[in-house]
């Protein structure tokens, strides 16, 4: 039996009602990496995957934002008519990211491709508050958002290209939920792992998330000794010797991948 939608998006536009997600233990492993944005992106290089967007392109709306979770995707495109005509006919908005929230499970990350509707907004502070109340852990938008003060005060982090005063209502139509999308030149499939922090947004394909985590753990461990030496004010020669060892260890750690 076909499930019902909230009423903003036609049910035929929802490609997956249920999706496979990254195992919760793997997600926790990525969370435990700490300062992981650049680390995960560097690991993906060894798998030949184009999977990262730097924060200079897609920054977090508020400082110290971090999120790790499975992607639930949304794609929006421009409306044909000007907003005035829709308002005059009393038509309902077709900006439907909120439909995705009710499909999500706790911990999911909603990822929105709103690049073609720029600079119209893809969501506002009330939408983010609703997402937080439904257990979503973060929202990533290839596009703009509105109500930045409210979004900064929200319980979940948001990444976006910037803020805007231009409403997406009657300028934007959500055309698909849980289909493949692209954000800033990077492909995102429903269920892929999203790892985002102050350095940017990285997309780890669900099928290799476990292998990527293993390499990340190796890469992060190889630099711990030199970090400890710096904190203890080791001299120049000791640091130089340890740095040589560290670089060799990093190279060795990648041979199995």
**Domains observed in the chain:** 11-206 (3.50.30.40), 223-253 (no CATH)
pLDDT attached to residue 117: 96
**pLDDT (tens digit, 9 = 90+) per residue, 51-94?**
999 999 999 999 999 999 999 999 999 999 999 999 999 999 99
Sign of the dihedral through C-alpha 123, 125, 126, 129: positive
Distance (Å, whole) CA 97 – CA 102? 10
Q: Is the pLDDT of residue 1 over 60?
A: no
Tell me if 129 sits within 8 A of 152, measured CB to CB. no
Mean pLDDT score, 213-234? 79
pTM of the predicted structure, to 2 decimals: 0.91
Neighbouring C-beta atoms of residue 221, cutoff 10 Å: 12
pLDDT of residue 252: 67
């Amino acid at each position: 039996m076909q499930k019902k939608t909230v009423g903003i998006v036609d049910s035929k536009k929802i490609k997956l009602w249920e999706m496979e997600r990254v195992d919760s233990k793997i997600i926790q492993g990525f969370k435990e990496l700490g300062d992981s944005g650049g680390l995960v992106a560097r690991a993906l290089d060894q798998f030949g995957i184009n999977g990262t967007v730097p924060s200079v392109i897609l920054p977090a709306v508020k400082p110290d934002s971090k999120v790790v979770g499975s992607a639930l995707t949304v794609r929006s495109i421009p409306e044909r008519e000007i907003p005035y005509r829709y308002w005059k006919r009393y038509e309902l908005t077709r900006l439907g990211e909120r439909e995705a929230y009710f499909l999500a499970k706790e911990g999911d990350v909603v990822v929105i491709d709103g690049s073609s509707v720029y600079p119209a907004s893809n969501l506002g502070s009330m939408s983010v508050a609703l997402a937080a109340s439904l257990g979503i852990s973060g929202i990533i938008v290839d596009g703009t958002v509105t109500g930045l003060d409210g979004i900064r005060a929200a319980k979940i982090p948001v990444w976006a290209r910037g803020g805007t005063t231009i409403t997406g209502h009657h300028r934007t139509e959500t055309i698909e939920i849980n289909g493949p999308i692209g954000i800033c030149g990077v492909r995102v499939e429903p269920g892929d792992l999203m790892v985002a922090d102050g350095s940017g947004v990285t997309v780890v394909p669900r099928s290799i998330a476990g292998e990527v985590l293993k390499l990340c753990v190796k890469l992060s461990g190889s630099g711990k000794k030199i970090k400890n030496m710096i904190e203890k004010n080791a001299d120049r020669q000791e640091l130089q010797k340890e740095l040589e060892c560290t670089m060799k260890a990093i190279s060795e750690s990648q041979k199995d991948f």
